[in-house]
């Protein structure tokens, strides 16, 4: 029995939200979210998309901009996180969250929610990095972009939140298909 077998028991009408954040650094206590991208989907396909740049209130260092292409100029006139999070929370609702290296993204969202004295996320969540390790053991690397290449998932804008969320969604669906196939074959 695998860690993700619970996914086989969810109803067919379940709604998922693959999401990703881009941040000013790696520490949620000191750094801030600068972009959130999310794709809401179910068994029928994509339901809706969410993508927003956020003014972090602190400078984005050049090495961060070099990775994700988000500059201080791009976020200067964007809303602050406290203006964005209510919309994001409404968007995800009670859906099952999907993220690659989920603890990172969730820790940033939860830290921002804590700063607003708001309750933290309590949605069920699937970390596609761990899920891929379970259903596709032996891959040379488990970074999102490496897995995308291995499974023929085309990344259009790597390290931008909405496209990373889309790649994450496709990776989840690929892993879920493999999990379903293995369980039906072994039943």
- Catalytic amino acids? 159
Using CB atoms within 10 Å of the CB of residue 74, give its burial: 0 to 12 exposed, 13 to 18 middle, 19+ buried.
middle
Joined tokens for residue 96: 């099952």
DSSP for the chain, written as a single string: --TTGGGGGS-TT--EEEEEEEESSS-TTT--EEEEEEEEEETTEEEEEEEEE-B-SSPPPHHHHHHH---HHHHTTSPBHHHHHHHHHHHHTTPEEEETTHHHHHHHHHHHHHHTT-PPP---EEEHHHHHHHHSTT-S--SHHHHHHHTTPPPSSTTSHHHHHHHHHHHHHHHHHHHHHHHHHH-
Alpha-carbon distance values, 79 to 33, 56, 82 (Å): 12, 9, 8
């Amino acid at each position: 029995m695998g860690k993700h077998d619970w996914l086989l028991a969810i109803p067919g009408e379940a709604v998922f939200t693959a999401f990703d954040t881009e941040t000013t650094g790696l520490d949620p206590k000191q750094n801030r979210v600068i972009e959130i991208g999310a794709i809401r989907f179910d068994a029928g396909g994509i339901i809706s998309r969410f993508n927003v740049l956020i003014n972090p209130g602190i400078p984005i260092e050049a090495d961060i901009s070099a990775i994700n292409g988000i500059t201080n100029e791009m976020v200067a006139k964007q809303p602050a996180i406290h203006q964005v999070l209510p919309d994001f929370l409404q968007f995800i609702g009670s859906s099952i969250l999907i993220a690659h290296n989920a603890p990172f993204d969730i820790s940033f969202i939860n830290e921002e929610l804590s700063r607003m004295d708001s309750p933290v996320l309590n949605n069920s969540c699937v970390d596609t990095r761990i899920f891929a390790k379970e259903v596709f053991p032996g891959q040379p690397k488990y970074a999102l972009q490496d897995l995308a290449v291995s499974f023929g998932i085309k990344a259009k804008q790597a390290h931008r939140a909405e496209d990373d969320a889309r790649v994450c969604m496709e990776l989840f669906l690929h892993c879920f298909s493999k999990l379903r196939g293995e369980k039906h074959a072994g039943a």
